[in-house]
Structure 1
Amino acid sequence: MFQIGKTLISEEILENAFVCDLTACKGACCVEGSSGAPLETEELQTLKTIYPSIKPYLRPEGIRAIEAQGTYVKGSDGEWETPLVEDRECAYAVFENGVALCGIEKAHKAGATSWKKPVSCHLYPVRVREYTQITAVNYHQWHICDPACSLGSHLEVPIYKFVREALIQKFGEAWYEQLETVAGEHLKR
């Protein structure tokens, strides 16, 4: 572990490789698991505000789930998350050619919203946990992402580079530049 400002970062995000391989996993991260995507408090109002703009890009099942449960829900752990369709996939997931994709991101690409998607999704496989004095930045290893680890290794893309845009969104450009410096020094050893 190493520290940048008030963040404590796992060396695993420097040492492990990752590049999403949707042809292999079929977007399983949007479907598997027992809860929705984690949401930050600041994202709750954004979801509520943009819902009318992204609704045309969502599946009828997702729309029904959102309109029944709300644009976000409180999970069993007490944290905010996206609602699920019948305790299965994220209500914002859409399917194209058998692959789960983010309907919010689809709306973003079409110009319907400036918001790309929840930062937790954008950061994956990095998970951020806020504590009183420090923020932990860790690698979340999940077997469904084994193909992404293989592809990342083949392409030689470390996790921190794969999620560069999301890390900058979350922590800022200066923080990311410090991360790159630390990574360079760490990987020389």
Structure 2
Amino acid sequence: MFQLGKTIVSEDVVKKDFLCNLSACKGACCIDGDAGAPLDAEEAKILDDIYPKVKPFLRQVGIDAIEEQGTYTETEDGDLETTLIDGADCAYVIFDDKNVALCAIEEAYNQGEITWKKPVSCHLYPVRVQDYSEFSAVNYHKWQICDDACALGQELQVPIYKFVKEGLIRKFGIDWYTELEKVAASM
């Protein structure tokens, strides 16, 4: 691990390779697991605000879950996350004609209906950020369903930090990312 500003960054973020391979995994990260995508309070408010514009892109089962539980949920620990359908699929997941999971929020963004792309935790995946009072921990979240993404990243030599460049800049800023590139070049 190394320190970069007020972050502690796992070396895996710069040393390991990753490139989403949707044709292999079909977007399993949006439909597997037992928790929604992590959100901060500002993002939860955004979900409330954009829901009317995202709703037309959603599946009925997603609409039903959101209208029953809310645009986001709060865990027993007070963490905020995207709503789930029956404890599994993200309520915002939709499927293309090849049955690949996509994000209705991102689809609304792509079609110019909203100006917010998606939760930053989704934008950063497979990087997970844990905020503490004095610093943020920036780690690689290894998950078996992403083995094909690791293999493709290795084949094409795409380090994790380059794959999630846009998300890292969104979270920490361009100056932070430029410093990360310098650290990566020295490793």
TM (normalized to structure 1)? 0.97
1:175 match: secondary structure: helix
Residues 1:114 and 2:115 aligned together: yes
Equivalent-residue separation in structure 2 for 1:107 and 1:147 (angstroms): 28
Within-5 A mapping of 1:166-185: 166-185=167-186
Amino acid corresponding to residue 62 of structure 2 in structure 1: G
Asked if the contact 1:35/1:75 (under 8 Å) is kept, the reply is no
Equivalent-residue separation in structure 2 for 1:72 and 1:36 (angstroms): 9
Amino acid corresponding to residue 65 of structure 1 in structure 2: A
Instruction: Give 1:149's aligned residue.
Output: 150
Residues 1:63 and 2:63 aligned together: yes
Structure 2, gaps ≥5 residues long: none
Within-5 A mapping of 1:15-164: 15-96=15-96, 97-164=98-165
Instruction: Tell me the percent identity.
Output: 58
Equivalent-residue separation in structure 2 for 1:177 and 1:46 (angstroms): 28
TM (normalized to structure 2)? 0.98
Moved over 3 A (4+): none
Instruction: Count residues with an aligned counterpart.
Output: 186
Equivalent-residue separation in structure 1 for 2:126 and 2:183 (angstroms): 20
Structure 1, gaps ≥5 residues long: none
Equivalent-residue separation in structure 1 for 2:76 and 2:18 (angstroms): 29
2:8 match: secondary structure: strand
Equivalent-residue separation in structure 2 for 1:130 and 1:45 (angstroms): 19
Equivalent-residue separation in structure 2 for 1:164 and 1:89 (angstroms): 26
Asked if the contact 1:54/1:103 (under 8 Å) is kept, the reply is yes
Amino acid corresponding to residue 21 of structure 1 in structure 2: N
* TM-aligned CA deviation for residue 76 of structure 1: 4.1
Asked if the contact 1:10/1:138 (under 8 Å) is kept, the reply is yes
* TM-aligned CA deviation for residue 88 of structure 1: 1.4
Equivalent-residue separation in structure 1 for 2:154 and 2:3 (angstroms): 25
* TM-aligned CA deviation for residue 87 of structure 1: 1.2
